Amino acid sequence: MQEIWMNKDLGWDESVPDNIKQKWSAYRQSLISLNQLTVDRRVLSGNKGQRFEIHGFSDASEKAFGACIYIRTIESDDSISVKLLCSKSQVAPIKSVSLPRLELWGARLVAELLYKIRDSIKLNIYSITLWTDSMIVLHRLNSPAWQAFVSNRVAQIQELTGDCIWKHVRSQHNPGDLISRSTTPSILIS
């Protein structure tokens, strides 16, 4: 969709260029493999003596930014399960925005997701840890003075996540990476 929007020569009633048509056909064909994807929607086991942690991840690229929240459950026998609770993504604006700003939007998105689920989850949460692969975001969250754009977003994030711990995660270990970059259903399944 971004490529179509950026093509200023394309009218609303014209066919898309062949390269976009080929990408769309390949994407549409790959959707068939989603029938093999299963997502365990049962987040809690129902056992007593559990300890719950929330882990949220954010990421951004020039194409999109996103966030995902996981519930980590530690059972009384010390077994651990980690389940995806929710995720959200947004397409990056067509107007050129720097990657650090997009990463900040991703951090705000995970903060907003966390805010929404905190009221709806009736669990005794042991800890909340939010992760980003952007050292710039971590630095901005811990520094006082920024220009208006950054300062406003940092204030929003801090307001929503004041009692949470922010940490760094390497990009290759960040599940938010799948949200911000395009992936195929076959990769998602594996």
* Eight-state DSSP code of residue 121: -
Per-residue pLDDT tens over the stretch 101-154: 999 999 999 999 999 998 888 888 899 999 999 999 999 888 776 778 788 888
Task: Please report the pLDDT score of residue 162 as a whole number.
Answer: 87
Q: Is the pLDDT of residue 67 over 90?
A: yes
Both 176 and 132 in a single domain?
yes
Both 170 and 92 in one domain: the answer is yes
Backbone angles phi, psi at 27, to 5 degrees: -65, -45
Q: Is there a domain that residue 104 lies in?
A: yes
CATH number at residue 62: 3.30.420.10
CA distance linking residue 86 with residue 69, whole number of Å: 5
Which of helix, strand or coil describes residue 120? Answer: helix
pLDDT at 47: 66
Query: What's residue 14's pLDDT?
Result: 86
Q: Region 34-44: what's the mean pLDDT?
A: 83
Q: How much is the pLDDT for 113?
A: 96
Residues 8 and 77 in one domain: no
Backbone angles phi, psi at 185, to 5 degrees: -60, -35
**Domain carrying residue 8:** 2-36
**What's the domain count of the chain?**
2
Give dist(CA 7, CA 17) in Å, integer.
10
Instruction: Check whether residue 117 and residue 90 sit in a common domain.
Output: yes
Can you tell me the mean pLDDT for 19-31?
A: 90
As a dihedral over the C-alpha atoms of residue 68, residue 69, residue 74, residue 79, rounded to 10 degrees, the angle is -20
Alpha helices, DSSP H only, in the chain?
2-6, 18-30, 99-120, 135-141, 148-160, 177-180, 185-189
Q: What pLDDT does 160 receive?
A: 92
Burial class (CB in 10 A: 0-12, 13-18, 19+), 116: middle
pTM (2 d.p.): 0.83
Cα separation, 104 vs 132, in Å, equals 9
Indicate the angle between helix axes 148-160 and 99-120, nearest 10 degrees.
Answer: 20
- pLDDT at residue 49 tops 80: no
Asked if the model's pLDDT at residue 46 lies above 70, the reply is no
Q: What's the pLDDT score for residue 69?
A: 96
